[in-house]
Amino acid sequence: MQELASVILRPDCLAGGELRVTASPKGVRRVELFETALASPGGSSRRTENSACAILERACAELGRYFSGEKIAFRFPLDFDGSGTPFQLRVWKALFEIPRGEFRTYGELAARVGSPRAARAVGQAVGQNPLPVIFPCHRVISGDGRLGGFSCGVRLKVLLLELEGQAVAGSLPLPGSRWSALRMS
């Protein structure tokens, strides 16, 4: 069995939420965001110590910079060992290419991965994303311009978008924001 290490981070911008980052010796395998704190006490807490810790430390440093509002390109290694179908991997790669401060619809992602009629399948792949924030699924919206869902909770989606400079109220963009180009019905 491969050794894994994980750590809990509680960035202030998540308003009481937290994230768990899990890594193997090959790279970061999973990032989980939670709307409320898990049962473990304290600030950042190391769950395990093993050979994956160097990768985990690097990932936590980069994620810390992201959550403090810095524009960052994540450069730590990733481990997809056994994760995702070829279609899901194409969708996750397309997520990675969405620039900070921008958004894409499920239909636009479907066209990007070569399956223009597969917006729902793209939505399912986005929902299975094991690395939210790194593969920024919070930047994906519904075709009608609404925020849509988020596997980690819509509240966290709004917080992440606001961290990146988007103005959001409820499930719609605020008038005059960078979202104003969206269709509002």
Strand ranges of the sheet holding 18-23, from the earlier edge strand across to the other edge: 28-34, 18-23, 5-9, 45-46
Task: Tell which phi-psi region holds residue 27, choosing left (phi > 0), alpha (psi between -120 and 50) or beta.
Answer: left
Instruction: Please give the helix or strand (H or E) that residue 126 lies within, else none.
Output: helix 119-127
Give the pair of three-digit tokens for residue 93: 């790669």
- Tell me the two tokens of residue 24: 């193997």
Which residues are catalytic, by number?
137
Give, in order, the Cα–Cα distances in Å from 13 to each of 29, 69, 136, 185.
Answer: 23, 9, 16, 30
Distance CA 154, CA 87 (A): 25
Question: At 162, which helix (H) or strand (E)?
Answer: helix 154-163
